[in-house]
Amino acid sequence: MTENANSLSEAFSARTPISQQMAERAVKVLPSGVTHDLRYQEPHPIYIEKALGPRKWDVDGNEYIDYIGGHGALLLGHSHPEIVSAIEAQAKLGTHPGAAHQAEVEWAEKICALVPSAERVRFTSSGTEATLMALRLARAFTGRTKILQFTGHFHGWQDHVVSGYEGPSDNIPPLGILPAIAAENIVVEPGNRDQVAAAFAQNPDFAAIIVEPTGAHFGATPMAIDFLTFLRDITRENKCLLIFDEVVTGFRVAPGGMQELADVMPDVTTLGKIMAGGLPGGAVAGRLDIMNLLDFQATREAGQRKIAHPGTFNANPMSAVAGSKALEILGGSDICAKVNEKGEQFRQQLNQVLADLKLKWAVYGTYSGFHLFTNSQNRNIDSVNFDSAEIPGQELAANDTTVLSPLRLAMLINGIDTSPRFSGFLSAAHGNAEIDQSTEAFRRALELLIKAGIVEAS
Ligand SMILES: Cc1ncc(COP(=O)(O)O)c(C=O)c1O
């Protein structure tokens, strides 16, 4: 770390002494002191005590405007009063009946009503479990084994998807993954029709394509809608399934997710995050004939084997009532569209700051998300009119920690919490006050970095 980065780190620690003490305890019991890789931060993370609407407060009493949004789960903001009431009421009725219950039926009805391609839904405990089941369904339905996925696309941490996320590997499987499993993942560049067509020419036996329909990491490397149409066509021609991983996009870009906006119907959809109202949960939804592989009666009548699917916390009633309430509030409303507009406003305001400071970076993104392009190739860009589609995906995703880490600290010092790459989500609770305050905090944070010589204006 440079001397100037060190002084930033010291300034951060001076504001967060109780968090620092907590981190010292944490490293003795948790690897790296954290429970999610994205929460790792040097010199130490902030420990959050409470959160409400768009804001949260750490154990040292510092206030932050929050753009992590429960890793994208909180479209309605923290502790939405109606969701809190639903959870409280359910807690008094029992947290786990170990039985079928009304709330799971209502939750599934809402999902089937909102997600255009969902004829049946099966609940899981997380998005990762949802993609695990989606691939199992695809393999069982098609009788094939190979999965086509895209570089950088994230589908959770289960064994059958990490090859794509971890990127080019020279055929070395990700650590801990069986080579035989990794060999079934064919990973191609997002947006590259020739590579997809070549993969099909070489492997006519794909069970499924799985894709993040707005591009890797909610559009950090964006994906055009006509590419989704291309994927729909090529999967149909090759009798393989198309899986939209809508764990992030579902109930966020629109009540019916990206499939509603793009008008492209996948065979199977994976869901999580917003769907469970800020509590743990996930789901696989899809065509009846595919989902029937989980159905006792349908498989018996068809003389087929059934996919087994237990799961202690599937459709836990606490998550069911929170999720149902969230879907009731956003379904049929213009909340998603309004949050998308706020996202656009925020990106524009941040880009204006970059232009004012003559920094050749850009904030980009779609819908209610934002990402930062730190321009490692020093392109001559205009922040305010930046078009991320003109930049190769790998360059957009380049992760320059020498500037991103100090920027994160400078933002925290100025009361804003974003993800480590300076990306994040807006929620319905973010109003003009939060957006303006965050814009000014961005300006102050960048001025701090420029003054410290960590970032250079042109
Ligand atoms: C697109 C996508 N799929 C799957 C997952 C995994 O979901 P979970 O973290 O609930 O296991 C995520 C999580 O960020 C995601 O963004």
- The residue nearest atom 7 of ligand 1, judged by CA position, is 127
**pLDDT at residue 173 is higher than 90:** no
Residue 2's pLDDT is: 63
Ligand 1 near 211 CB (within 6 A): no
User: Which ligand 1 atom sits nearest the alpha carbon of residue 282?
Assistant: 10
Domain ranges of the chain: 3-78+334-451, 81-330
**pLDDT at residue 166 is higher than 80:** no
Ligand 1 near 272 CB (within 6 A): yes
Hey, what CATH class is 81-330 in? alpha beta
- Binned at pLDDT 50, 70 and 90, residue 163 comes out as confident
Lowest-confidence segment of 184-198, 245-259, 385-399 by average pLDDT: 385-399
**pLDDT at residue 153 is higher than 80:** yes
259-264 long-range contacts, CB within 8 A, separation 24+: 259/115, 259/116, 259/117, 259/213, 260/115, 260/116, 261/225, 262/213, 262/225, 262/228, 262/229, 264/213, 264/225, 264/228, 264/229, 264/231, 264/232
392-413 in b/e form (b: 16+ CB < 10 A) is ebeebbeeeeebbbbbbbbbbb
- Binned at pLDDT 50, 70 and 90, residue 333 comes out as very high
User: Which ligand 1 atom sits nearest the alpha carbon of residue 131?
Assistant: 4
Task: Compute, in angstroms, the gap from residue 155 CA to the centroid of ligand 1.
Answer: 5
SS3 443: helix
Contact of 265 with 116, CB cutoff 8 Å: yes
H or E, element range at 122: strand 120-124
Tally the residues of the chain. Answer: 458
- Binned at pLDDT 50, 70 and 90, residue 34 comes out as very high
Report the percentage of the chain scoring pLDDT > 70. 98
More reliable by pLDDT, 402 or 113: 113
Query: What average pLDDT does the structure give for the chain?
Result: 96
- The residue nearest atom 13 of ligand 1, judged by CA position, is 156
Residue 25's pLDDT is: 98
Contact of 272 with 134, CB cutoff 8 Å: no
Decide: residue 303, CB within 10 A, 0-12 exposed, 13-18 middle, 19+ buried: exposed
- Binned at pLDDT 50, 70 and 90, residue 458 comes out as confident
Give the residue among 229, 216, 246, 256 at the shortest CA–CA distance from 337: 256
Task: Compute, in angstroms, the gap from residue 127 CA to the centroid of ligand 1.
Answer: 5
Task: Compute, in angstroms, the gap from residue 9 CA to the centroid of ligand 1.
Answer: 30
Mutate to test the pocket of ligand 1, among 150, 154, 158, 253 (most ligand atoms within 8 A of CB): 154
**pLDDT for 355-396, tens place per residue?**
999 999 999 999 999 999 999 999 999 999 999 999 998 899
* Distance, CA of 446 to CA of 360 (rounded, Å): 12
**pLDDT for 198-223, tens place per residue?**
999 999 899 999 999 999 999 999 99
**pLDDT at residue 1 is higher than 80:** no
* Distance, CA of 217 to CA of 1 (rounded, Å): 28
DSSP E strands in 205-354: the ranges are 206-211, 215, 221-222, 241-245, 268-272, 282-286
Mutate to test the pocket of ligand 1, among 248, 270, 368 (most ligand atoms within 8 A of CB): 248
**pLDDT at residue 131 is higher than 70:** yes
Ligand 1 near 369 CB (within 6 A): no
Ligand 1 near 353 CB (within 6 A): no
**pLDDT for 71-114, tens place per residue?**
999 999 999 999 999 999 999 999 999 999 999 999 999 999 99
**pLDDT at residue 22 is higher than 80:** yes
Ligand 1 near 245 CB (within 6 A): yes
H or E, element range at 324: helix 317-330
Task: Compute, in angstroms, the gap from residue 215 CA to the centroid of ligand 1.
Answer: 13
The third-level CATH classification (topology) of the domain covering 3-78+334-451 is Aspartate Aminotransferase, domain 1 (3.90.1150)
User: Which ligand 1 atom sits nearest the alpha carbon of residue 272?
Assistant: 10
Task: Compute, in angstroms, the gap from residue 369 CA to the centroid of ligand 1.
Answer: 15
- Binned at pLDDT 50, 70 and 90, residue 332 comes out as confident
**pLDDT at residue 170 is higher than 80:** no
Residue 394's pLDDT is: 86
Q: What value does the mean pLDDT take over residues 228-243?
A: 98
Residue 168's pLDDT is: 56
Give 53's DSSP letter: B
**pLDDT for 403-456, tens place per residue?**
999 999 999 999 999 999 999 999 999 999 999 999 999 999 999 999 999 998
Residue 194's pLDDT is: 98
**pLDDT at residue 3 is higher than 70:** no
Q: What value does the mean pLDDT take over residues 104-130?
A: 98
pTM score, whole prediction: 0.97
Task: Compute, in angstroms, the gap from residue 205 CA to the centroid of ligand 1.
Answer: 26
* Distance, CA of 164 to CA of 310 (rounded, Å): 27
Q: What value does the mean pLDDT take over residues 173-194?
A: 93
**pLDDT at residue 457 is higher than 90:** no
